[in-house]
Structure 1
Amino acid sequence: MKPRLLWIGYGDIAQRTAPLLVKQGWQVVGVCRQPERKTAPAGVELVAASANNETELKALFDEPVAAVVITLTPNDYSRDGYHQAYVVPCRHLQQVFNQLAEPPRVLYVSSTGVYGQTHGEWVDEESATEPTSDSGEMLLQAERVIQGSAATVSVLRCSGIYGPGRERLRQQIQAGTAVISPTWTNRIHSDDVAGFIGHLLAHPEHCEDVYLVTDSQPLLQQDAYARIAAQLGVAITELPRSDKVGARGSKRLSNQRLLATGYQLLHPELASTSER
C-alpha cells in the first residue's frame, strides 16, 4: 500500500511537487478550500478542508498519514491576516498531531523573512532570527508552534522564489519602476523548492530542524536586476535608485546544509539568459 501524504495548502509549489511525489510512490492528497478551482495530475486526490478548522483537519487523519507538507498563504496581508494564515493552522495541527498514535513526518515551508539582518552578513540555520516585518514575526511564531508538536518537523526557510508565474519583479524591471538599493539578495527557483521537498521525503535520514532553501550565489540587488534585465532584453541604467536598505534587509544566505543532503540544484544561480 502506498504511503499517504497530505499537502495542506495545495498551491503553486504543491502543483510543481506533486508529480515528483507520485513518481516516488506517494499517495498524494492535496488539501485546499476550493479544490474545484485546482487541477491535479494522475495520482493526486484533491479534498476540501480549511486549515483554520481543527475538526476538518482532524478528519484528514482518519486514514494513516506518513507525511505532511504545509505551504500556507495569507488572504489578508495584515498582521492579523498573517496570524490567521500561519499561526492558527499550526496550532490546530499541533493539537491533531499530539493526538495521533504515530505522528507523521512534517515539512513546513517558511521564509527567510524570519531573519532581520541588514548589513550583508552571512546567515545560516543557526543565525539569530529577529524578523522586522509582521509576516516574518508570524512565520517564526508558526514555526515554533509546529515544531512544538509530537511530529518530526523540518522547517524549510525559502529565499525569494522565482520561476514561471512569478512575474511581478520582471514586470517592474521592464516597466522601469523597480528601485535598486545597496542590498544583498537571495533567490531560489520554484523547481528547486519542489525538488528539495521531494529529495527530503525520499531521504528521511535528512531531518534537520531547519534548512535554508536558497541557491548558491547571493547577489547584490543591482547584479540580480541586471541579470533579469538581460533576460528581458532591457537595461537597468534608467532604474531609480535608493541608498536605503528595504524591509527585506540585506543578508547573504548559506545553503551548505541543503547541499550536504546530496541535493543538486537545478538552478544554482540566477541566470542572465532567457532560462527561467
Structure 2
Amino acid sequence: MHKLIIGCGYVGLPVAQKWLEQGHSVSALTRSEAHASEFKQRGITPLMGDITQPDSLKGLPESETVLYAVGFDRSAEKSRREIYVEGLNNVLTEIKQRTEKMIYLSSTSVYGQSTGEWVDETSVCEPERENGQICLAAEQLFEQHGLTPNGAQRETATAVILRLAGIYGPGRLLARMQQIKAGEPLTGRPDAWLNLVHLADIVNTILKCDTDIHLESHYLVSDSQPITRQEYYETLARLLKAPHPQFAGDSPGQSALKSLRMHSTERAAGLNKRCSNLRLRETLGVELVYPTIQEGLPQAIENT
C-alpha cells in the first residue's frame, strides 16, 4: 500500500518510519532539497512541491492514506492563513479523488474556552485568537470539499481530524530545559491549564486511524491529566535538578490591588481549557504510552 505524507517533520517522520516497517511504500512532499536527500536516506520517496503553489501538486500520486501534518514555517515568508487554509485547499482540490483516507492534524486552539472548563469533541468551537480561527477555518474545508467522515453515502470515513494538544517529546524540550537550568523567569499565568501529549501517543493515534475501523469525524488527542503551568515547570525543574521555577509578574502588592479591582469571572479568564481524551481512549481504543507528564517527561528528557 502507498502512503503520502504532506508535512513530514517532527510527527510525520516517525509515522513514515512505522509505515515503512509495516511494508508500505511512503512518499513525502517537500520544497527542500536537503529534506529530499534526508527522505531518500530513510527510504522515503521525496516529491518536490509547495502546497501554496497548486501547479506543483499535479504529480502527487494515488495513495491509500494521506497524512497532512503541515506546521507553520516562518522561513516560507507566507502567512498562517496562506499555509493552513489556502495550502490545504490546494491539496484537497488536487488529491481528494486520489486517496481513500486523509488524516489531518489540527489543534486544540480551535476551542475558545478560557476559564478552566472541560472540552471534548462536542464542545462549541468559537476561538478568539487568530491562530485558532485559522485552524478552525482549515477544518471546515473538509466539509466544503465533501469529505465529511461517516457520510450517508460512505461506509467508512474519508477524512479524520485530530485536534492535538501541546506536543512534547525528545528534542522538543531543549529551549525550556536551558531556561529552567538558568533560573530565568517564566512567562504566562502559573495557574493556567496546560494540555499536553507525547509524540509517541500522537504516532500511535495516527496508526490506529489508519486501520480498518469505524472513525468519528474528530478526535481530541491529549494525555489524561491536564496540569497547571506551575506544576509542569516544577516537575521539569525537579527532573533536571534545577532551581525552583520563578514566574515573571507583578509584585505581591500590585497583584493584590489588581485582584480587588477584577470581577471573579475576569480573573478566571485566561486559565485556558482542560481537554478530555475520553473518545480517544474509549471509542478509538488508543492506549496511551504516556498518560501523564510523570511518565512522559523523563523519557523526553533522557532522549533529548
Of 232, 247, 256 in structure 2, the residue corresponding to residue 224 of structure 1 is 232
Residues 133-171 of structure 1: CA deviation (Å, up to 9, x unaligned): 221111110111134324411111111101122123333
The 1:46–1:57 alpha-carbon spacing in structure 2 relative to 1, beyond 3 Å, is same
Instruction: Tell me how far 1:105 sits from its aligned partner.
Output: 0.4
Of 283, 288, 299 in structure 2, the residue corresponding to residue 265 of structure 1 is 288
Matches of 1:81 and 1:116 in 2, distance apart?
A: 21
Residues 65-111 of structure 1: CA deviation (Å, up to 9, x unaligned): 1111111122339xx7110110011211232245x2x5430011011
Matches of 1:25 and 1:208 in 2, distance apart?
A: 27
Partner of 1:256: 278
Of 27, 30, 37 in structure 1, the residue corresponding to residue 28 of structure 2 is 30
Residues 202-222 of structure 1: CA deviation (Å, up to 9, x unaligned): x23142111111101111221
Residues 189-236 of structure 1: CA deviation (Å, up to 9, x unaligned): 1121112111211x2314211111110111122111111111211243
Task: Flag the structure with higher helix content.
Answer: 2
Query: Mind listing any 5+ residue stretches in structure 1 that lack a counterpart?
Result: none
Paired residue secondary structure (1:274): helix
For normalisation by structure 2, the TM-score amounts to: 0.80
Paired residue secondary structure (2:293): coil
- Quick check: 2:29–2:46 contact (8 Å CA) kept in 1? yes
Residues 159-188 of structure 1: CA deviation (Å, up to 9, x unaligned): 110112212333333332213422111100
- Quick check: 1:52–1:84 contact (8 Å CA) kept in 2? yes
Paired residue secondary structure (1:234): coil
For the pair shown, which has the larger CA radius of gyration, 1 or 2? 2
Instruction: Tell me how far 1:252 sits from its aligned partner.
Output: 0.9
Matches of 1:53 and 1:214 in 2, distance apart?
A: 33
Partner of 1:191: 200
The 1:197–1:154 alpha-carbon spacing in structure 2 relative to 1, beyond 3 Å, is same
Matches of 1:222 and 1:82 in 2, distance apart?
A: 30
Matching residue's letter, 1:275: Q
Q: CA RMSD in A?
A: 2.5
Residues 98-125 of structure 1: CA deviation (Å, up to 9, x unaligned): 5x2x543001101111111111101101
Matching residue's letter, 2:82: Q
The 1:23–1:150 alpha-carbon spacing in structure 2 relative to 1, beyond 3 Å, is farther
Percent identity reads 29
Partner of 1:70: 68
- Quick check: 1:58–1:96 contact (8 Å CA) kept in 2? yes
Structure 1 residue 163 corresponds to structure 2 residue 159:
no
Of 182, 187, 206 in structure 1, the residue corresponding to residue 191 of structure 2 is 182
What pairs with 1:104-143 in structure 2 (closer than 5 Å)? Answer: 104-143=100-139
Matches of 2:180 and 2:212 in 1, distance apart?
A: 41
The 1:170–1:68 alpha-carbon spacing in structure 2 relative to 1, beyond 3 Å, is same
- Quick check: 2:170–2:299 contact (8 Å CA) kept in 1? no
For normalisation by structure 1, the TM-score amounts to: 0.87
